Amino acid sequence: MSLLECVGLTKSWGALTAVDNVDISVKPRDVVAVIGPNGAGKSTLFDLIAGCVGKTAGRVLFCGSQVEHLPDETLARRGLSRTYQITSLFQELTALENVRLALQASSNRRLRPMFSRDFVLQTESDATYWLDRVGLRSHRDVVAKTMSHGDQRLLEIAVALAVKPKLLLLDEPTQGMSLEETRSTVALLKSLLDEGDMAVLLVEHDLDVVFGLAHRIVVLDRGKKIADGLPSDVREDPAVQQAYLGTHHAAS
């Protein structure tokens, strides 16, 4: 069974149809990249899947049930977690506090037990583990807004991973990273994918990252899906070359 099934997903803002009748399915352990020129509808697609914007038409099924109406923490508990194109960290809080908040929000506990000593210690230890996992252990007590851009992006990944998602949506995780930071982020994602049974749906402009990670590539152009297949097939697809690859350098 598919983990995620988007059927006829559509979002219009007035006359503009940002996502136009898109079908996408993601199976457990799949790594699917969504590519396309600026404004193709990639982030809107993520917003629709995560329920941040209301759809105009279509359905989003996660583990077989419709999820578009659910709040973030309920989605996280069900196993769907995301990062944003523009950072969504709590800027005034430390790295540890950011990860701990995600753990607490998704824990399904009422407020009182949340402050039990065992719970606080457990979430602190889990949060430290995830900081360690993304290479930010030494930034545990550093306030997010003082961290470098690349480290903030890694912290967002740690926040998203902490809820142990079945499906992780990553919106341009390497955007603004140096070449070195991009390489180590790709290595980190590969090792996480090797270890667990998480699936990833990834929006990414850096085609080296896309071809290095994705099992399948979906191409959007002006809201429509114009290709969906193996990286080798998509690379050769004339419509894709026309719509995206040919304009990639101008678009990025």
**Residue 44 touches which of Mg ion, ligand ATP, none (Cβ within 5-8 Å per kind):** ligand ATP
CA–CA separation, 84 vs 47, rounded Å?
9
Helices (H), the chain: 42-49, 72-78, 95-105, 111-114, 117-133, 149-161, 179-195, 207-213, 231-236, 238-243, 248-251
Crossing angle of helices 117-133 and 149-161, in 10° steps, is: 130
Residue (43 or 185) nearer to Mg ion, CB: 43
* Distance from C-alpha of 64 to C-alpha of 147, rounded to nearest angstrom: 39
* Contact criterion met (CB below 8 Å) for 15 and 222: no
Q: Return phi, psi of residue 219, to 5°.
A: -115, 125
Shortest separation between residue 240's beta carbon and Mg ion, angstroms: 18
Q: How many residues bind Mg ion (CB under 5 A)?
A: 3
> Does 88 participate in binding Mg ion (rule CB under 5 A)?
no
Give the one entry of Mg ion, ligand ATP, none that residue 55 binds, where binding means its C-beta sits below a cut-off of 5 to 8 angstroms depending on kind: none
CA 58 to CA 62: how far, in whole Å? 14
Nearer to Mg ion, 99 or 201 (CB): 201
Alpha carbons 158 and 137: distance in angstroms, whole number: 11
Amino acid at 1: M
Task: Indicate whether 174 belongs to the interface with Mg ion (CB under 5 A).
Answer: no
Question: Exactly one of 43, 81, 94, 174 binds Mg ion (CB under 5 A); which one?
Answer: 43
36's contact among ligand ATP, Mg ion, none, with CB below 5 to 8 A by partner kind, is: ligand ATP
Question: In the bound complex, what is the minimum distance in angstroms from residue 195's beta carbon to ligand ATP?
Answer: 29
Is residue 85 involved in binding Mg ion (CB under 5 A)?
Answer: yes
What is the nearest approach in angstroms of Mg ion to the Cβ of residue 200?
Answer: 16
Residue ranges that bind ligand ATP, judged by CB under 6 A:
13, 16, 18, 36, 38-44, 85
Which one of Mg ion, ligand ATP, none is in contact with 106 (Cβ closer than 5 to 8 A by kind)?
none
Beta carbon of residue 205, minimum distance to ligand ATP (angstroms, whole number) = 7
What is the β-pairing status of strands 199-203 and 31-35?
Answer: parallel
Q: How far is the CB of 36 from ligand ATP (least distance, A)?
A: 6
| Binding residues for Mg ion (CB under 5 A) | 42-43, 85
